[in-house]
Homo-oligomer: A and B are copies of this chain.
Amino acid sequence: MNVWFGEEAGDGWKIAGTTPEELAAYASRAESTRPTGSPDFERIAIDAGLCSSPAEYLRLMHDTAMLVARSRIQALLSARDADIVQSIKALDTIHDAYNEVSERLTEWYGIHYPDRKARPQEIITSILSLAPGEVPPGAPLTAGDIAAMQGFAKVAQALFDERKSLEQYIMACMDEVAPNLSDVLGPLLGARLIARAGGLERLAKLPAGSIQVMGAGEALFKHIREGTPSPKHGFIYRHPMISGAPKRLRGKMSRMIAGRATIAARVDAYSGERLDLGSDVRARATRLRGGQRRPKA
């Protein structure tokens, strides 16, 4: 039998510590094997000499529980980080596998239907609706061929569907862990930065300049090694406000967005408040674009 402050040994209660820190270390690991009967932990604690009054008992339990809760929240959040890292990697894997499989499928379909050009999703649909006995314009098809192609097409479809599910999972994780970063960059791009940094807290410690070029990879190394122009954007380039901006504005735009993303990551990591940084980014983008136009009369 054990409770938050210790366990019952053969000859009485063994107290796990005297400070909230010591007690929290014990309580975090303790199995919840509640004594039978109608236990009164306070009575036991006072009898065992852990504390001398009900008020003191309450304070000690409160302080201990606060520490246990904080470390549990920390574990939950870092698990979220880890799951975001894993799921972004999973998403990339699924994405690549889908591309490979659908390319292969397009080629296979093409030997039987050389005349039809279509996007992978359309080809998947066409294959799944093939009926036995169909006489294609290209190579003949047996019922076995159709079944084999359909099995393969179903895998392509499963990969496509899983890509969507993973995206939704990542969105849900991001909404929980980093709503502000999600707001500024979109959940997938935000998740990609968290994954690259190795977690939200690590991302929050980076300066805006690093966030701006994160993922630029080769271009950045080349800049360092060979003095080519410094890359203006890494992953952030995928942000529609940057990739959609006129070329001359992209540098400014990616600097601005990286700056806002940095703030967002810090708020997410340390305060947890939900700001409306999305509107702020849109307003700044409008000003940036406006600043390039002729000033109003």
Contacts and interface: CB of A to CB of B under 8 A. Distances in A.
A224 interface: no
Contacts of A145: 79, 83
A69 interface: no
B139 A78 contact: yes
Nearest to A81: B139
Contacts of A111: 79, 82-83, 86
Contact of A94 (B101, B139, B165): B101
Given A93-B104, A96-B100, A145-B83, A151 B139 contact: no
B104 A89 contact: yes
Contacts of A83: 108, 111, 139, 145, 148
A158 B181 CA distance: 34
Interface string A167-183: 00100110000000000
B108 A152 contact: no
A182 B86 CA distance: 42
Interface residues of A, number: 42
Given A101-B97, A151-B166, A162-B155, A108 B90 contact: yes
A159 interface: yes
B139 A165 contact: no
A139 B72 CA distance: 10
A229 interface: no
Interface in A164-218: 165-166, 169, 172-173
B86 A104 contact: yes
A82 B166 contact: no
B97 A148 contact: no
A246 interface: no
A107 interface: yes
Contact of A144 (B141, B154, B155, B172): B172
Interface of A: 72, 75-76, 78-79, 82-83, 86-87, 89-90, 93-94, 96-97, 100-101, 104-105, 107-108, 111-112, 139-141, 144-145, 147-148, 151-152, 154-155, 158-159, 162, 165-166, 169, 172-173
